[in-house]
């Protein structure tokens, strides 16, 4: 009866481990080949599937009808350095031979002595701590983690704001180009004459010639016998008498 129960338990464990292995293979394939289109909800679904399968495996191990596997001793009957096709098939090509080199690793039911000693030491240290001291240590660790997360978030916000300040544009390129084109080539400037009052241009001396500036190729025009009347001046350009043909 015990052998039958052990056989059924091993079959259930093999089935659960196979499902878990297939899920891991599928998840690793997604990470390696579909990382460019992999979404976070899909990753969470894969983690949830793996967690559920691990919980099911633990339930099988902790079931009341499951015999204590730690009390079972596995003894290799045949060790050979030659290639074994049956072992290759059962292990899906991971173990080609069943020799004295691989048996201690594959048939080990306990961890390494060093690891087992460290685990015992950790369990002993944890048992010495009272619940109040453990709670204080948990609160202190949570506080340190919160401060660290706050500092990291602050650094991220400062770096983002600094990048925005550096990338912020302080001028309008279109306005700058229009201003340069207007100053260098006169592009966009109006050539209409503004309305002015009657009278001629007053020069420094009577009979002196007034110069109409502001356009290339303009000739000097003599203005004589004009009354002493001031005319409006704009940007160094003397305005001609209203009604007089433009020069």
Distances (CA, A) of 5 to 66, 73, 74, 93, 177: 7, 16, 17, 29, 88
pTM as predicted: 0.42
Strand residues in the chain grouped as ranges (E): 80-83, 97-98, 233-234, 237-238
User: Could you tell me if 60 and 88 lie in one domain?
Assistant: no
Sort 18 into a burial class: Cβ within 10 Å, 0-12 / 13-18 / 19+: exposed
Residue at 246 is within a domain: no
Is 36 within the bounds of a domain? yes
Query: Most confidently modeled of 88-97, 103-112, 231-240?
Result: 88-97
Q: Are residues 10 and 63 in the same domain?
A: yes
Which has the closest alpha carbon to 3: 72, 57, 62?
72
Q: How far is CA 205 from the centre of its chain?
A: 77
Average pLDDT, the chain: 77
- In the DSSP assignment, the letter for residue 235 is T
Same domain, 51 and 78: no
pLDDT for 143 equals: 94
Same-domain check for residues 122 and 89: no
The reply to whether 12 and 63 lie within a common domain is yes
Tell whether 230 is covered by a domain: no
What pLDDT score does 55 carry?
92
Q: Picking from 13-22, 29-38, 62-71, 78-87, which range would have the lowest pLDDT averaged per residue?
A: 62-71
Instruction: Round to whole Å and give the CA distance between 214 and 75.
Output: 110
In a domain, 178, yes or no: no
Distances (CA, A) of 171 to 164, 168, 174, 175: 15, 9, 9, 8
Q: Are residues 121 and 61 in the same domain?
A: no
- Residue 232 pLDDT > 50, yes or no? no
Residues 124 and 145 in one domain: yes
Last residue of a domain, one of 158, 192, 216: 158
Whether residues 94 and 121 share a domain: the answer is: no
CATH number at residue 29: 1.20.58.1710
Q: Is residue 154 part of a domain?
A: yes
Residue 229 confidence (pLDDT) above 90: no
| 151 vs 213 pLDDT, higher one | 151
- pLDDT tens digit string along 31-55? 888 888 888 888 999 999 999 999 9
What pLDDT, on the 0 to 100 scale, is given for residue 139? 92
Dihedral sign (CA 66, 67, 72, 77): negative
> Quick check: is 19 in a domain?
yes
On whether residue 95 sits in a domain, the answer given is: yes
Same-domain status, 2 and 62: yes
User: Which of residues 158, 174, 191 is at a domain's end?
Assistant: 158
Rounded CA-CA distance 153/147 in Å is 10
Q: Which of 132-146, 168-182, 228-242 has the lowest mean pLDDT?
A: 228-242
- Looking at residue 23, its pLDDT comes to 93
Q: How many domains does the chain have?
A: 3
Segments forming the whole domain that contains residue 102: 74-109
**Pair (150, 98) in one structural domain:** no
């Amino acid at each position: 009866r015990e052998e039958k129960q052990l056989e059924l338990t091993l079959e259930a464990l093999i089935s659960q481990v196979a499902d878990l292995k297939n899920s891991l293979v599928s998840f690793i394939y997604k990470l390696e080949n579909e990382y460019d289109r992999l979404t976070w909800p899909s990753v969470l679904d894969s983690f949830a599937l793996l967690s559920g399968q691990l919980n099911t495996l633990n339930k099988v191990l902790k079931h009341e009808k499951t015999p204590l596997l730690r009390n079972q001793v596995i003894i290799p009957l045949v060790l050979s350095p030659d290639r074994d096709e049956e072992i290759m098939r059962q292990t899906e090509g991971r173990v080609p031979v069943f020799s004295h080199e691989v048996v201690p690793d594959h048939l080990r039911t306990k961890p390494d002595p060093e690891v087992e000693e460290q685990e015992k030491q950790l369990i002993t240290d944890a048992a010495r701590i009272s619940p109040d001291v453990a709670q204080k240590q948990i609160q202190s660790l949570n506080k340190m983690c919160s401060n660290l997360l706050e500092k990291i978030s602050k650094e991220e916000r400062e770096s983002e704001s600094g990048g925005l300040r550096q990338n912020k544009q302080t001028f309008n390129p279109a306005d700058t180009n229009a201003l340069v084109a207007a100053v260098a080539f006169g592009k966009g400037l109006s050539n209409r004459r503004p309305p002015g009052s009657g009278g001629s241009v007053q020069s420094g001396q009577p009979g002196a010639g007034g110069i109409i500036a502001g356009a290339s190729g303009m000739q000097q025009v003599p203005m004589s016998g004009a009354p002493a009347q001031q005319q409006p001046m704009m940007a160094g350009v003397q305005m001609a008498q209203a009604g007089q043909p433009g020069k």
